[in-house]
Amino acid sequence: MALRTLDSLGSLAGKTVVVRLDLNVPLKDGVITDDGRVRASLPTLNALLSQGARVVAISHLGRPDGAPDPKYSLAPVAVRLSELLGTPVAFASDTIGADAEAKVAALADGDVLVLENLRFNAEETSKDETTRAAFAAKLAAFGDVFVSDGFGVVHRKQASVYELAQALPSAAGLLIAAELDVLDRLTENPERPYTVVLGGSKVSDKLGVIGHLLPRVDALAIGGGMLFTFLAAQGHKVGSSLLEADQIDTVKGYLAKAEELGVEIVLPTDVVVAEKFGADAAHEVRAADDIEGSPWGSAGLGLDIGPETSAAFAAKITSAKTVFWNGPMGVFELAPFAAGTKAVAQALTEVDGLAVVGGGDSAAAVRALGFDDDQFGHISTGGGASLEFLEGKRLPGLEVLGWEASQ
């Protein structure tokens, strides 16, 4: 079976469409600091509105522990959505209560309504299928069809992702279809050379991805906090840098496997070492095999890849035809330790082929560092879902829409 797309639903004129989006944006004092996910929802919303559908948009935001919490309200998102769509967007102060019922009933063709945060209801993420199904049935009562377009949650069995897709005629939206197309190109016959750049804090978060992609790539570059476990696996001392000592043997196994497969592992040759964690910390560039030679000895901690490594990573990226990048190269939120991440991002904008920024912290980083989304081939909204896809795992939120994983 193939993924069911919008076309499978037929004409949506005059129908009420419940659409699951991923509007889980970062907020600071009630203000959206990165509206990337809101903008990513626009193609599907515009496609529905162009048909004259009545749209009921649902999403989660943050982790409010199953009860209303004003700091996780979707109200600011509804305002931003209205600005981006150029049309009024109504907002219900609850998810399945009296306000939601009244505002759904009042919808006319071409109207949009955002319901309050799904996770203000404990049933949304319940481990009990019957509880989730009962909540999904209440959401289903609001619509004629269901469109799933929150790629960032398709790896979860949650009421609005899984059971709701069973309760109504359902299909994937344009964002999910686009994400799957890109991820397929990263795993099935990618154009070569194929380079993957992995960063972020922990090796343990990326083990499945490394294992699944090693036989598929030509080069794997390692930065971020996870690089220190790789350096330790080679016998180097890493001072007080982030280290997962329990993963050293696993990393040694991957290094041996890469050599066996002929995959180039590109590790840092220099590191920015700091006296402490902070934007005002004294810091200097050290060779990767001499981190403890800094003035701070074993107390020094690596917070970014060095300039030599940045140049090497950039060269490896720009010479590739397919690139997937997930995870910052350093603590990009602190200006002295953002250069590595910026160099990698810049290199991705220069790729003559498919360059994919793998969502989550990587997407936040490129925007925070001043890049525009359209400078990249694709910025994934998937985060953990994208990584699980690249690990070859089953994704229940896609399977319920007819998709079958290819192992």
Q: Is 378 annotated as a binding residue?
A: no
Clarify whether 360 is annotated catalytic: yes
Q: Is 377 annotated as a binding residue?
A: no
User: Is residue 138 within a helix (H) or strand (E), and if so which, with residue range?
Assistant: helix 129-140
Which of 80, 202, 257, 393 is flagged as catalytic? 202
Instruction: Indicate the residue type of 21.
Output: L
Three-state secondary structure of 382-399: CCHHHHHHHCCCCCHHHH
Q: Is 23 annotated as a binding residue?
A: yes
Q: Is 367 annotated as a binding residue?
A: no
Rounded Cα distance between 109 and 398, Å, is: 28
Q: Is 62 annotated as a binding residue?
A: yes
CA of 148: how far to CAs of 3, 164, 253, in Å? 11, 9, 39
Q: Is 30 annotated as a binding residue?
A: no
Residues 118 and 58 sit within 8 Å (Cβ to Cβ): yes
Rounded Cα distance between 159 and 156, Å, is: 9
Kindly state the DSSP code that residue 52 receives in the 8-state scheme: T
Which of 360, 382, 383, 397 is flagged as catalytic? 360
Clarify whether 306 is annotated catalytic: no
Q: Is 148 annotated as a binding residue?
A: no
Residue 167 CB coordination number (10 Å)? 19
Clarify whether 384 is annotated catalytic: yes
Q: Is 121 annotated as a binding residue?
A: no
Q: Is 157 annotated as a binding residue?
A: no
Which of 384, 392, 393, 402 is flagged as catalytic? 384
Rounded Cα distance between 301 and 275, Å, is: 7
Q: Is 189 annotated as a binding residue?
A: no
Q: Is 204 annotated as a binding residue?
A: no
Reference 300, options 287, 283, 317, 314; nearest CA is 283
Residue 213 CB coordination number (10 Å)? 22
Q: Is 302 annotated as a binding residue?
A: yes
User: Is residue 274 within a helix (H) or strand (E), and if so which, with residue range?
Assistant: strand 270-274
Residues 163 and 396 sit within 8 Å (Cβ to Cβ): no
Residues 6+ apart with CB under 8 A from 87: 49, 110, 112
Residue found under tokens 């409010």:
64
Residues 202 and 226 sit within 8 Å (Cβ to Cβ): yes
Q: Is 206 annotated as a binding residue?
A: yes
Q: Is 156 annotated as a binding residue?
A: yes
Which of 4, 15, 37, 286 is flagged as catalytic? 37
Q: Is 124 helix (H, G, I), strand (E, B) or coil?
A: helix
Q: Is 359 annotated as a binding residue?
A: yes
Q: What is the largest CA-CA distance in the chain?
A: 70
Q: Is 333 annotated as a binding residue?
A: yes
Q: Is 243 annotated as a binding residue?
A: no
Residue 105 CB coordination number (10 Å)? 9
Clarify whether 192 is annotated catalytic: no
CA of 313: how far to CAs of 268, 299, 301, 322, in Å? 9, 27, 21, 14
Q: Which residues are known binding-site members?
A: 22-24, 37, 60-63, 119, 156, 206, 302, 333, 359-362
Q: Which residues are known binding-site members for ATP?
A: 206, 302, 333, 359-362
Q: Which residues are known binding-site members for substrate?
A: 22-24, 37, 60-63, 119, 156
Known catalytic residues?
37, 202, 360, 384
